[in-house]
Each structure stands twice: as C-alpha cells, then as structure tokens.
Structure 1
Amino acid sequence: MVNRLHRRPEWQFFAVLPRADSKLATTWWVLLLARGVLPAVFAIAMGWLIGAVQHSTALAAPLTLMGTTFILLQVLTPMHQAVSANLGSRVSAYLNDKLAEACVGPPGIGHLEDPSLSEDLTVAREFDHGQTGPPMYLNVDFVAGSLVELVGGLASAIVLFGYTWWAPLLLVAAWTATHWLLRESGVWKDRNTAEVRSAQRHANYAYELAVGPDPAKELRLFGLADWTVQRFTERRRRLFELQYAATRLRERPMIWSLLIIAVANGVVFWSLGAAAIDGRLELDRLVVFAQVAIGVGMIAFGGLNWALDGAAAPVAAVQRLEPAMAPAGALSPGTLRVPGGAVELDIRGLSFRYPHADRPVFDGLDLKIPAGSSLAVVGQNGAGKTTLAKLLCRLYDPDSGTIRVDGSDLRQLDVDAWRGRVAAVFQDFLKLELPLRDNVAPAGAPEADIRAALADAGAADLADLDTRLATGYGDGTDLSGGQWQRVALARALCAVRQGAGLVLLDEPTAQLDVRGEAAIFDRILTATRDVTTILISHRFSTVRHADRICVLEDGHVVELGSHDELMALGGRYRTMFDLQAQRFTAEVDEEGLSYDTL
C-alpha cells in the first residue's frame, strides 16, 4: 500500500518540492495552511463580533481579530502566488538538472535512442515550454490554490463539529462524493494514453516546423507555410479533444452529484434553522455555523485533479527516466589503458541489434584494420556504416563478438581513456555557441596546434580564434554548413595532435563541393598519416584515396581492397563508382575549373 502510494505521480510531485528548495517548500506549505484556515477564523471572528454587539460587550478584540484576518486574507494570497512561482521555477530547474544528469551520465547513448523511453523524454524535455501543458510555475500555483480550498473546507468542517457531530460528516461525505463521481465520469485515467501522447508529439513537431529557423527556407520555397500552420492547429485541436474527452463530465454523475449535495446541505441548513427558531442556537453561533457549512463546499471537485495531473506528469516522467536510463546506456566496465600511437583494429564475429529493433545491424561481421592505415567504408543507407563508428567509439557495446584494439578486447579498455585516443566527426557534428578556439579544442590545446588543425581543415582564415560562433551575441558570427564542417574536421585533427590514435570520419565533407572535398581529404590523410583512419562517405572521389575500401551490405563485408583492386574486380564497388562518375562527365564547371576528382 505504501509502495503504491509512493509510486503515484501526485506523491512524487509533492516529494520533489523540498528537494527542489526546502525553505521555499516549507514557506509554501505554511502559507497554504494559513490561507486555508483563515476563512474559518474569519467566520468565528464574525460570530464573536455579533455576539459582542448582542450582549453589549467590548468590541475591540473581535474587531481586531476580524481586521487582522481580513488583511491576512488579502496579503497572503499574492505572497503565496509569488512563492508558488519561485518554487515552480526551482522545481523546473531541479527536474532539468536531473534529466541532464540522467542523459549525460551513462557512458553509452542507448538510452537516448531507445524508442521505449522516447515518450517520457518528450514530456521531460518539453514540460516547461508551454506546449504539453502549463509551465511548472503556473502548475504549482494552480495546485496551491486548489489545496487552499481543500484545507479551507476541512477547517470549516472542524468548526462545524461545534454544532453537532453528524453535520460536518454529512457535508464532507457529500462534497467528497463529487471527487469520485465526477472523476470516474470521464476517461480520466486515459488522459495519458499512447494516443494522447502521440497527438501531443505530432502537435509539437508541427509547432517546431513553424517556428524553427532551419526548416523556414524550404517551408517558404515549397509553399508549405499554410500547410504547417494548418497541420499544427489540427494536431493541437485533436490533442485538446482527446484531453477533454478524458476529463468530460457525463450527465448522470452530474445529476447524482447535484442531488447528493442538495440533500446534504438541505438537511444541515434545515437543522440550523430549526435550532435557531427553537432558541437552541443564538444568532452569533448561527452566523458562524452557517458560514462554515457553506465553507465545507470548498472541498468539492475542482481544479486540483487537473492541476496535479499537469504538475505530476513531468515529475513522474523524470523519475521513471532516471532508473531506466542508467542500464539502457550502460557499458561493461573496463580498466585497461590504451597504448600510444596508431591502433590496430580486429573485428571478429561482431553482432549488434539496436534496442527494440526487428533485425540486427551486424550478424557476424569480420574486419581487420592495420595500424596506421586508412580504410574507407561504403555501402547503401542502412548497411551499418554509422553503427560501426558508434561501436568503435564505444557508444554501444556489441551483443556478441569482439572488437580488439592492439590485441585487447575494446570492452576491457577504460572508456574515458579509449575515447581520449579517438577523434571523430559525425554527420550531426557538434556546433558550440562558443569562440572558434573552444570549438576546435573544447578541452583546451596549445594555440599552435589549433591554428595548424584549422589550416589542415582548410579553415585558416575562417575567423579570429576568439570570435564566438553564434549570431545571438553582439560579437558573434554564424557560419555556412561547409564552414562548420571544416571546424568539425579541425576539431578531429587537433585531437590527433593531442595524441589520438584512431580517426573516424562519418561523411566529414558532405557539405563541401566535390573539388574542395578532394583537396581537404588529401590534407586530412597527410595530417593523419601516423594514425589509423576510417572514412565513411558516399563520395567516391574521396573514397579512392584510402589505402583500402570496404563495401558493407546487410551488415557484412562483401568486398575489401584498394580502389584499383575493386575496380578490376567489377563488383558492387565498381557499379557504385560508375553510377556516381556519370554525373561528372563535363570537363569544367560553371567557373571554368576542371573536374579533376575522379
């Protein structure tokens, strides 16, 4: 029972408040209780004042209590709202910190690509952007207002015990019944179904298309602006319909609720009236008990359930992600350190399947890469080229088989030590809103190495090293896609100068023109001649420069050899090469420069 209670999202929400800020949480609860009790105190003060007038006694004390209570009612509300907003912001910061730690903590990246975690990740990432629900600072205020009413109703019921024992019990039971009847009247528990989350995800995607800078060009070019807005409004409307359907009030429970409330209040107020008429209840006490009998109604079904639903969902999502991400992104521990220099890679019987995937990417892959050599990996999309790079970087561990580095199983090597020996450029490379210097060497490096790496990447005159690569800053600048790719290449080449023994290049020059790509790759090969280099590319003008070329198909090596050997073989590589070469039949380009790349 206790464990089930602790697992409820509502409990998790209240439990996270003191973790976010214990002092603010304590102040929040104190103000909440004070605001809830004050209406009952005001009713007592009013009855006291009426009694003093009736019996001609001193009015100072009851007037002071009434005035103080009235002022506190006016003052505590904005104070509580301010505390709620601040506490909500602290809760947001706490959840974002926990999410960031859970995302970056595991050494692998399986937890970030696991489809079973994607829905919770969406809720956890977007909860404070106003798209999946109100921001947390508003949610905390909504919850506070609803709890104030609940406390006020209970405080009124306690005062009503001064009249008779059965009256508060009857009213509390009647008003509490609305929570059960109206909550159960809708598909409340289905408000967080896969259908609702899917509609939410589609609405968010359409919204990001509409407001993001990257898709803006093609939205306008292809006339998709109106379509995007229409898609967003349709998806949002569908989401609202599903959410409303999950909280709608049906006719029969509403009638039952009204009937129960009417009967219970009718009985209590009839009893109060009869007692007053019979002289058993004086006017001052009648005023008090009548007010608190009305005040018990504050515990009725209201906004608390909706507020808690919105506030608890992201908390529960983060709480679920924390324990789930650690094993999903875990890697087997390693303790061995990697020797210096170029590394030899020996892949034997490698098998790997992504979490929840239908089929494996690799099922018995064999490949050997001598130290200090360059290998190009080609193949159709989905052949496993990028997956191989991820496995070599130890972003995943294989399901079976081995990757040996200088004779040692990669899983036995210390993860951080191994990654310190690997330099990689992925298709979705990192763009830091930092100076050029920090983009090339995030961990720091001598200025001479940074400038040499930029020169090797063809970016020597790109910008000053202290220029921030972001337009959102007064002294910042943005780069073209090709310029950014040169910066990413410089980052890898700088790592080589700092001791990396393996260079992985996954489509490293895809945003450069063919001629520029060939020139850059010649520089790369020169800069990495003392290390092991693996190149993944669709451009055969670059691929042909590698010592050997590996053709992957269905997770297996189907051809392996030099460019000349594979061309002579007349197999898959020759076919792909000839198809691409047909696009470069012209002798010169539009600038009059020769195509000297094939």
Structure 2
Amino acid sequence: MPAATAVTMALLVSRLDTSSSGEVFAVALGPLLAFGAVLLAGHVVDALAEPLRFVAEARMDGAHRAHIARLAAGSPTIGALERPEVQERVRLARADPDNWTERTPGQGALAQLGEFVRILGITASCLVLARYAWWLVPVVLLAAVAARSVGYRQGLAFIRLWLAGVSHGRRAHMWQEVLTQPAEAKEVRVFGFAEWGVQREQHHIHGMFDRAWAAGVRDLNRQWGRLALTVLGLAAAYVPVALDAAHGTTTVAVETAVFAAGWSVFTALDGLDWRNRLGALPVLQAARKLDEELGAPAAPAHAAPASRPEDAPLVRFEQVEFTYPGTERKVLDGLDLEIRPGELLAVVGLNGAGKSTLIKLLSSLYEPTAGRITADGTDIAEFGPAEWRRRISVVFQDFVRYHLTLSDNVTLGQADGTVPDLTRAEAAARDAGLDEVLARLPHGWDTPVARSRTGGVDLSGGQWQQVVLARALYAVRSGARLLVLDEPTAHLDVRTEFDVFSRLAAHRGSSSVVLISHRLSTVRQADRIVVLDGGRITESGTHEELMALGGSYAEMFAIQAERFGAGFDDRIEDGELE
C-alpha cells in the first residue's frame, strides 16, 4: 500500500504539472481515481484486519489452550504436576498473560505474519526509491534499521527490568486477593490487619514499578538518538532529490514518490511487532517442555487381561517402595499388602505414616520407586492408568467442591461419555445419606451448589462429604469394583458416620473397600484392619484380634476411647477437629 500510494501520488503530481489549466480535470481524473482506489483499498484492509485478527487469534489460542488442558489433565501421574517448575510452565503455557510482556501464540503468529507483510511493503518501497537512484536504498534502509535497532535494544532492556519485578507483582496480586475476597474477609476484620495488608500490597507494587518508572523516564531522554538517525537518514535522501527537482534534473513527481517511499520505509520498520513475537516464544517453549514432561508414555506392547466388570480384583502390594522426588526419606519401605476381593479393609496409622501416599499409588497417581502393585497377578501399570482407574473409585480427604450443579458434582459428566443416569445417582445419594439434602434443594439435581452461581446454595462440610461419597458410590454402581475412602466422613458426627458406613457396607455389592479413617470406632466394622507404620504393615487382623495383640492399634484405640469418654467426637468441622 505505501509503495502504491507513492506511485499514484507521483503520477497525479506529474499529470498536474504537465497539463494546461483547461484540461486539468480530464488529465488528472485517471491518476486521481487510481490514488483514491489505493486509499480505499487501504481503508478496506484496515477495516477487515481487526475482525480477521480476532478470529484467527481466538482459533489459534483456543486450540493451544485446549492442548495444554488435555496435556495437564491427561498426564498419567501427578508427580510431575506437583513440581514447582512444572507448575510455572503450566501457568506460562496456558497463554493467559499476567503482564504486558507475555503474549499468546496467536498474537505471536500474527505478529510474524505481519512482519512478513511489512517486509514485502519495505521491498516495494525500496523498488520505488531505486527507480530514482540505487544508492537511495542503502542510505534510507540503513538509517531506518539503525533507528529501529536503538529502539529495539531499549525495549529489550526495559522488558528485562520489568520482568525482574514480576515476583513483586504476583505478591501484590496475592495481597489484593486477600483484601478483597469474601473467603478471607472474616479474618481480615477479626484480626484487624487490613491496613497492614494494604501496606504490604503497596510495598510490592512499588517493588514492581519504581525501577520501571525510572527507566521509562531515561528512555524518553534517549529517544533523541532515534530522532537524529531518522532525520539524518531522510535528509540524506530528500536533499539530493529536492536539489535535482529545483534544478530541473528531475521532476516534482519523482521527488514526491521518493519522499513518500522513503518515509514509508521508516514507518514500516518502526511498526514491526517484535514484542508480540518475542512475548509468545516463552509460551511455546514452555508448552514444548510440558509435551516432553507430561506427554503420555507409549501404550504397553501387550494389553493386560481384563477381569469381568462384576468381579472385584485381588490387589497386592509387593515390596513397594516410594520416595518423593528431591527427598531421601522412604515414605513406603518394602510394603506388602493384600486387598482381597469383596472385603472391607481398613488402613490406620499416625499422621505421616504414608496412608495417603498408599492411596495415590493404588490410584496410579504415583508410580512406585521400587516393587509393584498387581491386580489378579497383573501389574496395574500394564493396564494403563486410564483403564485401571475405570475399575476404581476414590474419595480423597482433600476432595474438590466443584461450583456446578449437584448432578454434575455426583456424576462428573459421566467420565465414559455416556449420559448420566439419575436413577443410579439417586440410589447412590440414598446410600450416602444425601437424599434428605437433595429433597430440600430448590431445583433438585439441577441446583448449583455454590453461592457464586445464579440460584445456587451453599452446603455445609458434612453435606459436601455426603456429595463426594455419593460421587464414589455412583462410580461403583457404574462398574468400579474397588472403592477407596480417605477420611470420607471426617466432617460427620459419630452417629451419622456409623449410619453412612452401615449403609455403605450393605450396598457395596461385590466391590472391595479400602477405608482410611482417624476414628477407630468406625474401622472396627472392617473385615480386616492393618496398621501402617514406618512405611510397612506392622499389624493385621480384625478389631478383636488386634485388641488382643495389645500393640499400637490397641494403644491408639484406648487413647481415642478415652477422648470419646471425655465428650470429644473427633469430628472435623470446616478444617477443625472437635
């Protein structure tokens, strides 16, 4: 467009310069129409560019974010996701910029396309300059590149300075969340630290911006260098052409074309979108690293034999060891454990004994450091994580409260892609003791269980625990044959808990149940109880057998019985033990 504008403008000036006053209109009409057509084309391109940019950017970024979401959610285990460096890569690769230095892949790709188009425009303008004199091309181009390089270096230096303060910016954002969110509002007021929090926020804001503000002022003073290079470069081209036109060696039309083309070279180079291109590169680099770290391994060479859906498997831990990356302490050390088909097995132990780690290994969320876990004699790793997890259902102690409808919370959209079965969900709700809560909800299963949703309601900690228990039982009714419960009723009182477990034992069908609970009055209902201590099973038997043994289980039971006698029920209510 700039080259076409220069040529048509020169043609118009040439016709006006050589025509008599009587025939100006007739002579100038063609060039004038051509010049108008070029301006109109430029306007049309500008009008279409923004919506096209939005569509292309949205499609590319949407596909990229979907890929990152699948990559993170589809990672076979969670060990890599728990590493801080991977969490930072996920944050960066999500392409949701936290500050102006970060860009999305769509922005970077379109910036690169824009650079290519501008280079075409610069080439066309240089051809116009060369039509007058070849030496104009290096004179104008070198001056424009030099001026752009100065701005580029200043921009990179400012970005590096800005990024050095990003950690302060994140801390400022954290304090802003603390001071403005409803969840933290209670403690802000009760403990009276609002002003202290504001001061901390301001401290980090200044830590992020003060040096950037000072650098911005310095950069303003350094713009004189860029201006000098621009003036000198244009003067070196314009002055000789203007002198030639004044002496009649060339025409005013040529002078017009050179002036317009020379200026367009500077403006085109100055408009190269290097910030978007460079800002998108870290996103793509982070995504590439995540592909390497979270990508699913190759499928096993031989598919594992599948047991019949109605059968619970015989699961064995065989000399299993596990050590968290970056530590030397073995959480599990030569663990041998058998989970028999159809039994209710309770696992007890002190805090830090490795109970939750055992569950994550059983769920294929971690891989054993040594040893193996088998189902009916086959290593569960041979099933593949997705296939194995279709056979089990887990209620974690730190369960997630999804801001969705009750139906979605219980069925989770039916993981196998089929339509959720509300009849099955209602049966699971009865087994979990959730039916009374369901009856009081204004829209039944379609009620959002979050105040943040329109028409939503809040549930208590105990009611949420019934929701996640119904979620697990729904999975059992959908085919899972191993139910794992990690402190599933910690928010319930003893009487409600006893009722829930009685119904659970009655409705588990042929499924095996692994129960972890801090209340030993509950685990005494189990078919078998094992004590986990020092990364190994140290005691195993029924409640009566372990009490007769007089070991650590008997000691823990006696201590807890004494607490119950003193009026404590060991119920966790919103994170506190009563």
Q: Which one of 252, 259, 275 corresponds to residue 283 of structure 1?
A: 252
Code of the aligned partner of 2:81 = L
In structure 1, C-alpha distance between the alignment counterparts of 2:214 and 2:369, rounded to whole Å: 44
Unaligned 5+ residue runs, structure 2?
A: 570-577
Contact preservation (8 Å) 2:107, 2:276: no
1:502 positional shift: 1.3
User: Structure 1 residues 224 and 66 mapped into 2: Cα distance closer, same or farther (>3 Å)?
Assistant: farther
User: Structure 1 residues 405 and 204 mapped into 2: Cα distance closer, same or farther (>3 Å)?
Assistant: farther
User: Structure 1 residues 71 and 363 mapped into 2: Cα distance closer, same or farther (>3 Å)?
Assistant: same
Equivalent residue, structure 1, for 2:294: 325
Equivalent residue, structure 1, for 2:447: 468
**Equivalent residue of 1:509, what SS?**
coil
Equivalent residue, structure 2, for 1:59: 28
Question: Aligned pair 1:528/2:491, yes or no?
Answer: no
Aligned pairs (5 A) from 1:312-351: 312-327=281-296, 334-339=303-308, 340-351=310-321
Q: Which one of 26, 41, 44 corresponds to residue 72 of structure 1?
A: 41
User: Structure 1 residues 290 and 416 mapped into 2: Cα distance closer, same or farther (>3 Å)?
Assistant: closer
Aligned pairs (5 A) from 1:357-436: 357=327, 359-413=329-383, 415-432=385-402, 435-436=405-406
Code of the aligned partner of 1:320 = K
**Equivalent residue of 1:343, what SS?**
coil
**Equivalent residue of 1:463, what SS?**
helix
Cα deviation 1:393-433 (Å, max 9, x = unaligned): 22233232011223332223354443232121113435455
Cα deviation 1:87-131 (Å, max 9, x = unaligned): 222222111221122223343334433433211101233616778
Range with greater deviation from structure 2 (508-517 or 197-206): 197-206
User: Structure 1 residues 185 and 195 mapped into 2: Cα distance closer, same or farther (>3 Å)?
Assistant: closer
Cα deviation 1:325-357 (Å, max 9, x = unaligned): 115898897522134433332212112334555
Code of the aligned partner of 1:504 = V
User: Structure 1 residues 240 and 411 mapped into 2: Cα distance closer, same or farther (>3 Å)?
Assistant: same
Range with greater deviation from structure 2 (243-252 or 102-111): 243-252
1:499 positional shift: 3.7
**Equivalent residue of 1:469, what SS?**
coil
Code of the aligned partner of 1:158 = L
Range with greater deviation from structure 2 (445-454 or 399-408): 445-454
**Equivalent residue of 2:94, what SS?**
helix
In structure 2, C-alpha distance between the alignment counterparts of 1:132 and 1:545, rounded to whole Å: 59
Code of the aligned partner of 1:424 = V
Equivalent residue, structure 2, for 1:507: 487
1:228 positional shift: 5.3
User: Structure 1 residues 238 and 142 mapped into 2: Cα distance closer, same or farther (>3 Å)?
Assistant: farther
In structure 1, C-alpha distance between the alignment counterparts of 2:186 and 2:301, rounded to whole Å: 45
Equivalent residue, structure 1, for 2:466: 486
Equivalent residue, structure 2, for 1:450: 425
Equivalent residue, structure 2, for 1:96: 65
1:573 positional shift: 4.2
Contact preservation (8 Å) 2:3, 2:128: yes
Contact preservation (8 Å) 2:391, 2:480: yes
Contact preservation (8 Å) 1:424, 1:492: yes
1:167 positional shift: 1.6
Q: Which one of 272, 281, 287 corresponds to residue 241 of structure 2?
A: 272
Range with greater deviation from structure 2 (321-330 or 343-352): 321-330
Contact preservation (8 Å) 2:154, 2:219: yes
1:212 positional shift: 5.3
Contact preservation (8 Å) 1:84, 1:140: no
Question: Aligned pair 1:545/2:525, yes or no?
Answer: yes
Percent identity (aligned)? 34
Aligned pairs (5 A) from 1:126-137: 127=96, 133=102
Aligned pairs (5 A) from 1:132-143: 133=102
Aligned pairs (5 A) from 1:109-258: 109-125=78-94, 127=96, 133=102, 152-185=121-154, 188=157, 191=160, 198-199=167-168, 202=171, 205-206=174-175, 209=178, 214-223=183-192, 231=200, 234-235=203-204, 238-239=207-208, 257=226
User: Structure 1 residues 50 and 186 mapped into 2: Cα distance closer, same or farther (>3 Å)?
Assistant: closer
Contact preservation (8 Å) 2:314, 2:376: yes
TM norm structure 1: 0.78
Cα deviation 1:338-383 (Å, max 9, x = unaligned): 3443333221211233455554433322222333332323344443
Contact preservation (8 Å) 2:148, 2:226: no
Range with greater deviation from structure 2 (436-445 or 61-70): 436-445
Code of the aligned partner of 1:84 = R
1:452 positional shift: 2.6
Contact preservation (8 Å) 1:129, 1:135: no
1:148 positional shift: 6.7
Matched positions, count: 553
1:283 positional shift: 1.1
Contact preservation (8 Å) 1:186, 1:247: no
Unaligned 5+ residue runs, structure 1?
A: 1-37, 590-597
1:63 positional shift: 1.0
User: Structure 1 residues 43 and 563 mapped into 2: Cα distance closer, same or farther (>3 Å)?
Assistant: same
Equivalent residue, structure 1, for 2:574: none
1:587 positional shift: 4.7
In structure 2, C-alpha distance between the alignment counterparts of 1:457 and 1:132, rounded to whole Å: 50
User: Structure 1 residues 282 and 128 mapped into 2: Cα distance closer, same or farther (>3 Å)?
Assistant: same
In structure 2, C-alpha distance between the alignment counterparts of 1:233 and 1:144, rounded to whole Å: 40
In structure 2, C-alpha distance between the alignment counterparts of 1:325 and 1:244, rounded to whole Å: 40
Cα deviation 1:503-550 (Å, max 9, x = unaligned): 101121233334422332232233337432112233334334333433
Equivalent residue, structure 2, for 1:19: none
**Equivalent residue of 1:161, what SS?**
helix
User: Structure 1 residues 579 and 85 mapped into 2: Cα distance closer, same or farther (>3 Å)?
Assistant: farther
Code of the aligned partner of 1:411 = A
Range with greater deviation from structure 2 (247-256 or 546-555): 247-256
In structure 2, C-alpha distance between the alignment counterparts of 1:550 and 1:247, rounded to whole Å: 66
User: Structure 1 residues 564 and 47 mapped into 2: Cα distance closer, same or farther (>3 Å)?
Assistant: same
Code of the aligned partner of 2:448 = L
Contact preservation (8 Å) 1:86, 1:137: no
**Equivalent residue of 2:342, what SS?**
coil
1:227 positional shift: 5.3
In structure 1, C-alpha distance between the alignment counterparts of 2:320 and 2:344, rounded to whole Å: 21
1:287 positional shift: 1.6
Code of the aligned partner of 1:501 = R
Equivalent residue, structure 2, for 1:47: 10
In structure 1, C-alpha distance between the alignment counterparts of 2:214 and 2:336, rounded to whole Å: 55
Cα deviation 1:288-337 (Å, max 9, x = unaligned): 21222222211445672222233444344334323431158988975221
Code of the aligned partner of 1:292 = A
Code of the aligned partner of 1:67 = G
CA RMSD of aligned residues (A): 4.0
Cα deviation 1:215-262 (Å, max 9, x = unaligned): 454445444555555555554554556878999977998676555444
Contact preservation (8 Å) 1:187, 1:245: no
Code of the aligned partner of 1:462 = V
In structure 2, C-alpha distance between the alignment counterparts of 1:327 and 1:437, rounded to whole Å: 31
